[in-house]
Structure 1
Amino acid sequence: MVSDTVRYYDDFLADRDWLAEGLSWAVVQPASAEATIDGVIKRLRARRVESGDNNPGEFADLAQIGPNVVVFQDNGCALSRPEVLRWLSDGMRVHTVDWTINGNGGVTYAVYGKVLAWMDMNDPDRRHGDDPSVFADDLEDVRAAQGTEYVTPAVMAFVERRTGVRLPAEWMSDEGADPEAGPWVTVRLGSFPADPRPPSSFGHYEPDLDARLRAASEPVRRAALALALRAVTKRFRFSDDDLVRRAVEAVERGLTLDEDARSRIVYLKAHTRRRIAVARNHRAGLRVARRVRRRRGAGRAERRQRSKATGHRPRRRGAELDQRDGRRRTVRSPHRCWGRDAAGAIGDHHMGEDKFPWRARCRGQYR
């Protein structure tokens, strides 16, 4: 069931459809330091935007709500950058929610210069940080919204639940960003140097191994890459096995593939061998089903000719007459589904589990 807070933010976003393209909202709360607009501006290395200032830059709007400060960007993500949050959360508690036009986004919580938790708004179980468990007791609305149109309102409600601060709809009028017409103070954000990052995604998961391999000699790096490629080719089947074999051999020998082969590698498709086995068993089952249907088709043709000659139409095997509501209905025989079940049965025999969800729908139709 959707809570009142989620409904509030759902109406909030429905009245401002441009926010679907991107949003970043932060609530800064005092901990060991006081939260003020001037203090937050200093931490963001920002400058107030004066009237007539048309210089480019990344902007944000700030407002004081009691002891807290709200920071809002209607199309930006600077407030969720770890290097920004570390400065912003020095002596403060900071909750940030953000998303992009692609539907990606999440909630971040930082305190005393540490990012304690980040949560994917599309998967609340996907969390990381120094202490991701801090979100565990407040996920009711977020979990209930999964797979519905309430995902973004739910994460905004999540921030309100943890902070007690609501983003007021009346502040978001067209004049709200003008410091002379409303409570907002518009600033141009300063620049923050990016945190050091590994050169590849592998470095995030295995930083020590990544660094050691990059510092190793060429033969060692080539042997490690060949080992990884062989492991991948054992686990997956590819749409062009010959091209994959050539690529592995080129890595092992220290050669370079020609330009045509390199361009074709981009379009390779990989499938797990288990998935291919399922598909193969499924096809075998369908062959059995087709043979069954052919045999039945011959029997039906013979019965049809017999009914034409005698003027009597035989009742189908397994058919029943339903007298509900005073109407006569013919209930289809469950035997008509046997052919499809044959395909599933063969797959079950080989795979040890039901891989064909349409079987349950088929059976339920004739129960």
Structure 2
Amino acid sequence: MKTDWKENKVELHEASDHYLQLLEQHRWLGNGLSWTVIQPVGDSTPSIHEISSRLTGGGNPEVRKIEVQGQDLYPMEVVFFGQCNGLIILLQTDGGSYASSPEVMHWLSEDARVWNVSWQTNGSGKFSHAVYGQTLVRVPELNMGNITGTDIGALVDEIGPMQQAAAVDLTEAATLKEAWARKTAAMAVVELSTGMRLDEEWLSNPRSAFIIDQPIRVPLEPLAFGHFDPDLDSRLRLAPEAVRRKVLLLVVQHLSGTHNIDSELFASAMEEVRHGDPLGQQSREDLLDAQIEWGEEAAGPLVQEGFESDPARLRLAALMAVRHALIEAGDQADRFQSLTYARHALGSEWPPFRATIRASLRLG
């Protein structure tokens, strides 16, 4: 959807004024926001399962319904989502920048057009437009003087509001309208490019959200186990569901023992999912609470210098593997993000454990 900004100044001003009013009413958004709109290229809208996979590079994030304002699951990130008129909306409101990272934009845009505008508490921000895995337009600091990309003319008809906002000297801004000129202009560009408006109704109701684990590394890596071990991943997918579930529970047993994780908690959770029933809500809460607590102790990416000798990070990787194995075992057992984490938690002990998995597939 193209808009000739020179001929539609009333529409542009109305959109910018709308976002100024929205930020004034919700000052917390002025400190941190990441808003993404995805337009799939095709006749069908992706399922939640597909969206979660694209968002994480083949991973399996937990989905919960949460209030948009006031949520705090640090160091995990919360990405709210919704669908409207064939478009997919992602929103982070806590200053998180996961969805605006170049890697995630690449994954989301493999077969789609994607727009993102974001900024953080420290004042940094950017606008990005990606298509088919390429960043066509990127505007660091929301400053058109810094524009880059593989096709910076791709939004020539839509980018007008940001060109106008670039003339505002933020160091001399006397009003919120001037101080937020680049932010509201970038949001207007997203709306005028997609037809999607972020409004009061979207912010005022509980929304489904993806709970994003701490990254393994930065830059981000895909979480799909097949990215690291395509042979074993393919063998697992070809195995019967009962065998796949057996492997996932083997992950729970092995890692909870090697890393001294609360055996009582996991023993009861294993009984819940042993025969394919979903993991119970209380167990999900307990596991998430434990991961948040341990995550604060080992904040930041899992794999850093000295990772192999850092007990806190190894234990966190083990807990992440166990938590996801329990979720996956009770949910068709068709994703193996747990094994992605298990590889890091086990380190040099991974090859013999991998051999055990291979043996269980042969015996299954």
TM-score normalised by length of structure 1: 0.47
Rg bigger for which structure? 1
TM-score normalised by length of structure 2: 0.47
